[in-house]
Amino acid sequence: MTIYTWRRKYLKYGMVGLMAKRKSIPRKPLPPDAPRPQSEEMLALQEQVQHLQFEVEVGGFLMMTVRNEMKAQIIRAGYTMQ
């Protein structure tokens, strides 16, 4: 790249225009049996996701229980009023 091309790209696109394009980096698809790196951060995030999913499931069950109890109270109140 000549200095003139560099300058023109810099003035038109800024620093992004000077960065290497992804097309110039050869990439190969990973084989399906390739091991994935298990970092501590990734494991911690997976554990956090499982914990949050459990909270959502328990919360939904509790809400259903509360709703059913409220319905029962309304029905009981209706029977006592009559």
* Whether 40 contacts 48, CB under 8 Å: no
With a pLDDT cut of 90, the percent of the chain lying above it is 4
Each residue's pLDDT tens digit, 46-60: 899 998 888 888 777
- The reply to whether the predicted model has a pTM over 0.75 is no
For residue 10, pLDDT beyond 80: yes
Q: Provide the pLDDT for residue 54.
A: 86
Kindly report the CA angle at 68 between 60 and 49, in degrees rounded to 5? 5
Q: What is the reported pLDDT for 49?
A: 92
